[in-house]
Amino acid sequence: MSRSRIRGLSRLAALCALLGAAFAQTTPVLSWLTEPSPQALAPGPDVVLTRDTGGRALQLVTDGRTPPAELARRYGVPPAHLTLLERRPGARTWQLALPAAVTERAPARPRSVLSYRVRPGDTMAGVAARFGLPLVDLLGMNLDRTSLDRLQPGSRLNIPTGPRGLLVRIKPGQSALSLIAGYGADLVQTARANDVLPTELQVGDDLLLPGIRATGFAQQLADRREAERRAALVAQRQAQYERFLAWKKAVSAPAWNPSTPPRPNMKSTSPGKTAPSGRPASRPTSARPSTRRRRPRPRPAPAPLRPSARWRPRPPRAPRRPAAAPWCGPCATTA
């Protein structure tokens, strides 16, 4: 190595040492790590929330040789959804408006659950016996029922043909996983009973929870039916009692018209007039028939029995001997 090159390297090292000493005197060591930057301390912009209208748009840049119809066919939209934004030599900028996602669909339900139309005169117990199901299992599939006896003709009932359990509808704020955890159902059996993963179910879908029985719901409906029966019985007895009171009031205090002449078999209502029997009436009486009981008519004596040819009268018995006179103690004589 030449002396000139060694001399240049030494000068460069001395210059770097001087610059390092000057930087250490003006700026503390690692200050850029300990102190936050002014950009971090500056307040951020306000967040503005806007309603999502459901529309989606993409910007496409082509070489200008692809026709718009071909672009629309690639993305599955009509050509009217393409808009030319910018034209440059050898480049085209297009705006593609995508259709909004379709959210309306039929509620999902298990395939093993059938729908039955209620006929006139059907009851929950009758439908369960017709399909060979316990009443508790039928109620578990129809949690919207309010009575065991009153069924509206034409309404629908859910009939299980596979796994039996509890059929619930996912409401807003709920999910299939939260319902499975809340009722304590098995995740694998629930997925098999519904033929779909629970994570794919949405609000409004029906979820079948196998192994869960609606015993409390059945007891609640049974208690309600018993309370309704007792209330109807009390109302019937009250109506009978009120009818009895009305009849008793009509019989005990009938309406009396003073202009109506007394009946022949009744006493006169005026003290000055005489009764049909010729006796003066002692006090005014009401013009209603007498309530005294009539003397029963004597019944005719039964006909004497005729002796038959084989009948022979018994011979008279000998008279009994008279009993001895009682003993009289004080006088020691017979009375």
Could you tell me the CATH number of the domain that includes residue 168? Answer: 3.10.350.10
Q: Give residue 83's domain range.
A: 56-98
Per-residue confidence in pLDDT tens, the chain, 335 aa: 567 777 777 777 777 776 776 666 554 544 544 555 565 556 655 555 555 555 677 788 888 888 888 888 877 788 888 888 888 888 888 888 877 655 567 788 888 898 899 999 888 889 999 999 999 999 999 988 888 888 888 889 999 988 889 999 998 888 888 899 989 898 889 988 888 888 888 888 899 999 888 888 889 988 998 999 999 999 999 999 999 999 888 887 655 555 655 555 544 444 444 545 445 545 555 555 566 667 777 777 776 666 555 666 677 777 776 655 555 555 544 44
Q: What is the pLDDT of residue 235?
A: 93
Whether residue 76 is found in the same domain as residue 149: no
Q: What is the pLDDT of residue 316?
A: 74
Whether residue 65 is found in the same domain as residue 166: no
Whether residue 145 is found in the same domain as residue 90: no
Tokens 């004080």, located at residue: 330
Q: What is the pLDDT of residue 39?
A: 57
Is 143 among the domain residues?
yes
Whether residue 86 is found in the same domain as residue 160: no
Q: What is the pLDDT of residue 269?
A: 47
Q: What is the pLDDT of residue 36?
A: 55
Q: What is the pLDDT of residue 309?
A: 53
Is 323 among the domain residues?
no
Whether residue 93 is found in the same domain as residue 131: no
Is 183 among the domain residues?
yes
**Domain finish residue from 38, 68, 98:** 98
Whether residue 124 is found in the same domain as residue 212: yes
Whether residue 94 is found in the same domain as residue 118: no
Which amino acid appears at position 41 of this protein?
Answer: L
Burial of 167 (0-12, 13-18, 19+ CB in 10 A): buried
Whether residue 122 is found in the same domain as residue 73: no
* Separation between Cα atoms, residue 223 and residue 225, nearest integer Å: 5
Whether residue 119 is found in the same domain as residue 218: yes
For 128-136, which contacts have Cβ atoms below 8 Å and span 24 or more sequence positions? 131/159, 133/159, 133/160, 133/164, 135/218, 136/213, 136/214, 136/215, 136/218
Is 307 among the domain residues?
no
Whether residue 120 is found in the same domain as residue 184: yes
Q: What is the pLDDT of residue 240?
A: 93
* Overall number of domains in the chain: 2
Q: What is the pLDDT of residue 234?
A: 94
**Domain finish residue from 67, 98, 129:** 98
Residue 131: CB partners within 8 Å, gap ≥ 6?
Answer: 116, 138, 159
Q: Is the pTM of this model over 0.85?
A: no
Is 185 among the domain residues?
yes
Is 195 among the domain residues?
yes
Residue 203: CB partners within 8 Å, gap ≥ 6?
Answer: 170, 171, 172, 174
For residue 156, give the H/E element and its range.
strand 156-160
Whether residue 136 is found in the same domain as residue 65: no
Q: What is the pLDDT of residue 335?
A: 40
Query: Which structure tokens are listed for 182?
Result: 């809340």
Is 106 among the domain residues?
no
**Domain finish residue from 185, 206, 222:** 222
Is 218 among the domain residues?
yes
Whether residue 78 is found in the same domain as residue 118: no
